[in-house]
Amino acid sequence: EIVLTQSPGTLSLSPGERATLSCRASQSVSSSYLAWYQQKPGQAPRLLIYGASSRATGIPDRFSGSGSGTDFSLTISRLEPEDFAVYYCQQYDSSPRTFGQGTKVEIK
């Protein structure tokens, strides 16, 4: 089973700042089968990024994903008030699919 470790656990930033979230895999994720999701309180998760770097439909271009192999990142170029949420990475390369434990982006 591929274990995904996200860091930091919590990121305290102000609106307008840049956020960089990390996701490290215990073994290589081939063909960049890595996704990022956003979850706000009381809501279902929403797909942001798939294939490590492709934005899902309707996702603003301030969200970008990068990485390959075992190291991936999600960058939010300028935080908007609605971006404060929990973010999860997920690999869908091998079974069982696994999620990281999440990074909370909170208002400083």
Partner 1 sequence: EVLLVQSGAEVKKPGESLKISCKGSGYNFATYWIGWVRQMPGKGLEWMGIIYPGDSDTRYSPSFQGQVTISADKSISTAYLQWSSLRASDTAMYYCATLINFRAALNYWGQGTLVTVSS
Number of residues that bind partner 1 (CB under 8 A): 24
Residue 85 in tokens: 């949420």
Q: Which positions from 38 through 57 interact with partner 1, judged by CB under 8 A?
A: 39, 44-47, 50-51, 56
- 21 lies in the site for partner 1, by CB under 8 A: no
**Residue closer to partner 1 (CB basis): 51 or 69:** 51
How far the first Cα of the chain sits from its last, in Å, is: 35
Beta-bridge mates of residue 2: none
Q: Of the listed pieces 20-28, 30-38, 62-70, 72-80, which binds partner 1 according to CB under 8 A?
A: 30-38
**Residue 69 within binding range of partner 1, rule CB under 8 A:** no
Closest CA to 69 of 33, 44, 105, 17: 33
104 binds partner 1 (CB under 8 A): no
CA dist., res. 91 & res. 35, Å (int): 6
Task: Determine how β-strand 10-13 pairs with β-strand 103-107.
Answer: parallel
Binding site for partner 1 (CB under 8 A): 1, 33, 35, 37, 39, 44-47, 50-51, 56, 88, 90, 92-93, 95-102
